[in-house]
Amino acid sequence: MTVDAHVLLSPAVTNLRDVGGRATADGGTVATGIAYRSAELTDESVVTDATLADLGIRTVVDLRTDAERDPRPDRLPAGAQHLVLDVLADLPVSAAAQLPALFAAGRVDEFARLDLMGEMLAVYRHLVLDRSAQAAYAAFVRTVLDPERTPVLFHCTAGKDRTGWAATILLLAAGVDEAGASEEFLAVNPAVRATFAPLLDRFTDAGGDPDVLRPMLEVRVEFFEAALAAVREQFGTFEGYLTDGLGLSLIEVEALRRTLRTNG
């Protein structure tokens, strides 16, 4: 079994990973200790967790919506500041929003009428094209660029979709090729599937078809490709997305590349 060197084990937070350490297309390496990703930081033990303390996190970037944050607020590692960047503020109400109510009512048979794969593909286009997402990711990048605010830990709820695209932005900006960025994008699946396994079991026990629900409980290469397709359609290139979509200057783009690469 291959060991994932990016995984950081903590009892306080799941899906904790260092984005650094991957090879760039020109033979360089993405710097470690700059940007970390995870699931939500809602456990009270986050405040005292030794693993998080050792990372020296200065900024926690919370990509969740108000509806997610209000009932489950972040706990912060000692010394960290909290930055809320709601990526999905402009997202229209989706069919997926019906899921909690349907599940609570035991109407699992109605899940089959929902196109959850199509919903997820649409979400990834929104991550690229929506103004709220562009503004949030631009602010995220500028946070990573600020040496007074790094190391940064960024997260959404499960740490797979909004967080996955944020990690992709950093890796592609650092010079990692699409294959390497896709590898990181998909690498969270073991942690994510473990997180959602109890929910999937309850759904199955209630008579639901687990394959109907799985698109929302994991990441797939099709999601990654949908986001990149939106980048190419709207901006031509990833560099065009950084400058025309996120509004970064060429100086900022180059500074991001330097920040994310090791000096060795």
Out of 48-52, 109-113, 115-119, least confident range: 109-113
Burial readout 219-242 (b: 16 or more C-beta within 10 A, e: otherwise): bbeebbebbbebbeeebeebeebb
Burial (Cβ within 10 Å: 0-12, 13-18, ≥19) of residue 140: buried
Whether 100 has a pLDDT exceeding 70, the answer reads no
Whether 16 has a pLDDT exceeding 90, the answer reads yes
Gap between the Cα atoms of 55 and 36, Å rounded: 9
Whether 101 has a pLDDT exceeding 70, the answer reads no
Please name the residues in contact with 208: beta carbons below 8 A apart, sequence gap of 6 or more. 108, 109, 111
Q: What pLDDT does residue 2 have?
A: 73
Quick: pLDDT tens for 159-208. 999 999 999 999 999 999 999 999 999 999 999 999 989 888 888 888 88
Report the mean per-residue pLDDT for the chain.
Answer: 92
When pLDDT is averaged across residues 232-256 and rounded to a whole number, the result is 98
Each domain of the chain, given as residue ranges in start order, spans 17-259
Gap between the Cα atoms of 63 and 137, Å rounded: 9
Q: What pLDDT does residue 98 have?
A: 53
When pLDDT is averaged across residues 14-18 and rounded to a whole number, the result is 98
Angle at 257 between CA 234 and CA 30, to 5 degrees: 110
* CATH match of 17-259 with 1.10.760.10: no
Burial (Cβ within 10 Å: 0-12, 13-18, ≥19) of residue 7: middle
Q: pLDDT band for position 264 (50/70/90)?
A: very low
Quick: pLDDT tens for 27-86. 999 999 999 999 999 999 999 999 999 999 999 999 999 888 999 999 999 999 999 999
pTM attached to this predicted model: 0.94
Q: What pLDDT does residue 204 have?
A: 85
Gap between the Cα atoms of 146 and 132, Å rounded: 21
Q: What pLDDT does residue 199 have?
A: 84
Q: pLDDT band for position 8 (50/70/90)?
A: very high
Please name the residues in contact with 105: beta carbons below 8 A apart, sequence gap of 6 or more. none
